[in-house]
Chains A and B, each alone.
Chain A
Amino acid sequence: MMTDTPPDLECRGLAKRFDNVTAVDSVDFSVPAGSFFSILGPSGCGKTTIMRMIAGFLEPSSGDIRIKGRSVLGVPPNKRPVNMVFQHLALFPMMNVAENIGYGLRRQGVSKSEIMRRTGEVLERISLPGIGGRKVSELSGGQRQRVAIARCMVLEPDVLLLDEPLGALDLKLREKMKVELKALQAEFDTTFVYITHDQGEALVMSDKVAVMNAGRFEQVGPARELYYNPATAFVAGFVGDANRWKGRVTAAHGADVTVLLDSGLTLCARGTGLAQGDRVEIFVRPEAISIAHDPHAMGEDANQIAVQVTAMLFNGANSRVLVRDPQSGAEIDVALPQSAAFAGLDKGDAVHIGWNRDQSLCFADSGT
């Protein structure tokens, strides 16, 4: 839909090697204007290196970074149309809020009255009007967060980089800031590139998420696609919760495979490019598994097991039931349906669980 305007940020064959270690290995992506793009990965996967290359603190070993169609290779950080919200925000402790926000404008040589006006305006937009005179140390965690974003946004960058800025906040505030960040992004209508190891943050806020592992992008797509159609075993295991089992393919007909798990259970699953005898990993989401007292209620599900409840893990809407297959001894994590029928479920109860063939995602075992 945006064929004529170049994307706000585009990386082509981006790579970074430190001595013998390849931190980022030929990564390609482009971020359309005004969208929220996240890079999700475990610590040490190279996501911070990508961000620092975009910001200009590191030079790529090879590849190109284009912002609004123009290559920024060789442009120092202070000349790039990109600003960064640091992990610990890095607000200037020696300045008050207004001076922090005005810092970048002062560097651009904007007049004092104009700085005053724009600082006031941006404080208004982050709904913290009138706090310009406060010290940074007097602000709460959430306020600091917003000031750090305002400090960048007042410069109207083409791309805003955010380096796990929610990591230091407590859980409640983090949940609130997720929603707020998304709203701020819409408000400023700027391209956000967000890196995090927290899948919750990435899935909730992003238009598109790149899942990164060992210097490469495993899969890039909308959150829903990553969750329901993971391309690799890593994505299936990293995004969302899943029961994860290893086994061997005993029969394969096209995409339909039958797998004998190491625990002795036999499952019907779906996976491409697998042949009989292959070692595989199977992922089943806890909420994909239905649970019933009566075996006839399971319907057409390809995988049906009569199990015993071993533990109830109550956690409000995210409650889980741990069940065990008495024959194989395999433990299975099942989401507790929010209906009165299972409210009284207790340890030792016999129940039936079942799930569809399509909901057992099967990947060749990578050996990890």
Chain B
Amino acid sequence: MTPGRLSFFLLLAPLVLWLGLLIVIPHIDMALVSLRARVAPGEYTPSLQNYADFFTQPLYLVTFARTAIMSILATAITLIIGFPISYYIAKIAKGRSQASLFLMCLIPFWVSELVRTFGWIILLRETGVISGLLQWAGLADQPVEMLYNDSAMMLGLVYTSMLFMVVPLTTTLESLDDAVIEAGYDLGGNGFSVLREIVIPHAMPGIVSGCIVVFMLSLGNYLTPTMLGGKDSLWFTQLIYSQFIVRFNWELGAAFGFCLLGASSLIVWGMLRLTGQTLERTMGEGS
């Protein structure tokens, strides 16, 4: 073996180890677990029963669909809020204010997600800050409970993922030459048409890569739905958790895991097809 090849393999080794030990092997094991059924304690037989359960139980399917739709909604809301923020940071703010605005987006992410979510609980709960303010202002005559519903959960999801939308969007928008935007106006475009024909097409790789990341984060989120969501806001990850930890039914939990993986891959693929982007381009240019 030549020294060149040796160093190549040495450099490759961490990647191979990481992929193999943390991703490939656990997933193969999970796949095997999901494809067996327990017939007696300690006795298993290969079976598709777990997947059949998933597709026949309305609770599982409904929770699954709800999780997917709510994640898409959270992604859309994050995009709608994140786009103007990114545009402002990338194109309108200059110099120091640009850097400090970007830092302000980053600062909340220095504390753990748990603490951040708890911050929302302090604000939103019955005895919380907003409820107190409303009563003080005379807009409410009794304590208002704003926690434990879908809106509170959505708020938490959007807040948690905002940075992951703002970073790729700001990067792609910064790469758009100001003169191109000016040319759009100069040739007769108004704000809306410049946005639609020039800014958004240019930012598309960033939009798609931000959306993929935010969607994945929302779909796989466990903490936010658990802390902010109500008893009706069951999240699919909570089902997986209960199968693994509460029910000790690893087989069904593993099957759920694979269904979630399949669904998220499908939705991401659909999103890429719909926008005519490729994964290489969005990940290469976006972040």
Contacts and interface: CB of A to CB of B under 8 A. Distances in A.
B188 A108 contact: yes
B186 A84 contact: yes
A57 B179 CA distance: 11
B181 to A, nearest CB: 8
Contacts, number: 62
Given A57-B182, A77-B182, A88-B179, A83 B202 contact: no
A84 B186 CA distance: 7
Interface in A213-244: none
Interface in A75-129: 76-79, 82-84, 86-88, 90-95, 103-104, 107-108
B99 to A, nearest CB: 22
Nearest to B190: A78
Nearest to A154: B187
A92 B179 contact: no
A88 B187 contact: no
A306 interface: no
Contacts of B193: 107
B187 A86 contact: no
A6 to B, nearest CB: 23
Nearest to A151: B187
A104 B179 contact: no
Pick from B177, B186, B190, B201 the residue with the most CB of A within 10 Å: B186
Interface residues of A, number: 26
Interface in A49-87: 55-57, 76-79, 82-84, 86-87
Contacts of A86: 179, 182-183
Interface string B193-220: 1000110011000000000000000000
Given A87-B179, A88-B177, A90-B177, A55 B202 contact: no
B185 A77 contact: yes
Interface in B12-57: none
B184 interface: yes
A86 B183 CA distance: 8
A107 B179 CA distance: 18
B180 interface: yes
B187 A104 contact: yes
B183 A90 contact: yes
B189 interface: yes
B258 to A, nearest CB: 38
B187 A155 contact: yes
A102 to B, nearest CB: 10
Contacts of A151: 187
Nearest to B191: A78
A104 B188 contact: yes
Nearest to A109: B188
A152 interface: yes
Contacts of B189: 78, 103, 107
Nearest to B200: A94
A55 B180 CA distance: 14
Contacts of B179: 86-88, 90
B182 A152 contact: no
A333 B80 CA distance: 65
B93 to A, nearest CB: 18
Nearest to A161: B186
Given A77-B182, A90-B179, A152 B187 contact: yes
A92 B188 contact: no
Contacts of A84: 182-183, 186
B177 A78 contact: no
B256 to A, nearest CB: 41
Given A90-B180, A107-B193, A55 B186 contact: yes
Given A77-B182, A78-B188, A151-B187, 5 more contacts: A90-B177, A94-B201, A103-B189, A107-B189, A155-B187
9 contacts: A77-B186, A78-B188, A84-B182, A84-B183, A87-B179, A92-B183, A94-B198, A103-B184, A107-B193
Interface of B: 177, 179-180, 182-190, 193, 197-198, 201-202
Q: Which 7 pairs between the two chains have the least Cβ-Cβ distance? A: A107-B188, A104-B187, A90-B179, A94-B201, A90-B183, A86-B179, A90-B180
